[in-house]
Chains A and B, each alone.
Chain A
């Protein structure tokens, strides 16, 4: 258990509406990530954070924004949802184990944009 809670776990929304997904961690890790999972693409990094108010873009950041006002919370916002953003979204944290950091994932948030 990586101490990660994602909410909501499932959401259906309409095209053009804003959507915010929340990731909450209980272990005070510095690094947090948002990935999206699509068939054939594995997981692709959307945004990540390396501290409060410190965020950076990943591979597929267009159409997404993030915020981290507290260590424990990392929010992903779709300003105006599109059908191409229908996906499963995973939050992750980086935990130091022995020689290096290992990334652990939450349970996922299933988003459908209709």
Chain B
């Protein structure tokens, strides 16, 4: 079955520190991959997406993600975290020809001052 896994439920980092959120997928073929962010009480905002091509993709708010086929991973990174980055982050995937997303369970990021 197709699945997306985010191994870390909670992560706490200090403001200014670097961040990496992990995402692994299990699909028959390489899926399209997405990262979304959700602030408390809000909907989901698209941070970035990978369809094909360059395996390092840039997104909004200074985030980037790297697709690694050999590891079935699509980890999200940011070099320097700001307090406003505190939120929940969701990795998602869908088949190339599909229209439905499968989500990971989410990672809640807390930022220490």
Residues of B within 8 A of A41 (CB): 105
Q: Is the CB of B106 within 8 A of A42?
A: yes
Q: Is the CB of B44 within 8 A of A102?
A: no
Residues of A within 8 A of B44 (CB): 43, 90, 105
Q: Which residue of the partner chain, among A42, A94, A108, contacts B43 with CB atoms under 8 Å? A: A108
Q: In the assembly, what is the distance between CA of A40 and CA of B45, in Å?
A: 19
Q: Which residue of the partner chain, among A44, A94, A102, A107, contacts B103 with CB atoms under 8 Å? A: A44
Number of interface residues of B (CB under 8 A): 25
Interface string of B40-56 (1 = CB under 8 A from A): 00111110010110000
Assess whether A33 is interfacial by the CB under 8 Å rule: yes
Q: Is the CB of B101 within 8 A of A99?
A: no
**CB of B12, distance to nearest CB on chain A (Å):** 18
**CB of A37, distance to nearest CB on chain B (Å):** 8
Assess whether B8 is interfacial by the CB under 8 Å rule: no
Q: Is the CB of A50 within 8 A of B43?
A: no
Q: Is the CB of A48 within 8 A of B100?
A: yes
Task: Pick the most buried of A40, A43, A50, A105: most chain B CB atoms within 10 A of its CB.
Answer: A43
Residues of A within 8 A of B51 (CB): 98-100
Q: Which residue of the partner chain, among A99, A102, A103, A104, contacts B52 with CB atoms under 8 Å? A: A99
Q: A102-B34, A102-B49 are in contact. Are A108 and B42 (CB under 8 A)?
A: yes
Chain A residues close to B by CB (< 8 Å): 31, 33, 40-45, 48, 50, 58, 90, 94, 98-108
Query: Could you give 26 example pairs across A and B, Cβ below 8 Å?
Result: A42-B6, A42-B92, A42-B103, A42-B104, A42-B106, A43-B44, A43-B90, A43-B101, A43-B103, A45-B100, A48-B99, A48-B100, A58-B100, A90-B44, A94-B99, A98-B51, A99-B52, A100-B96, A101-B99, A102-B34, A102-B49, A103-B34, A105-B43, A106-B43, A107-B42, A108-B42
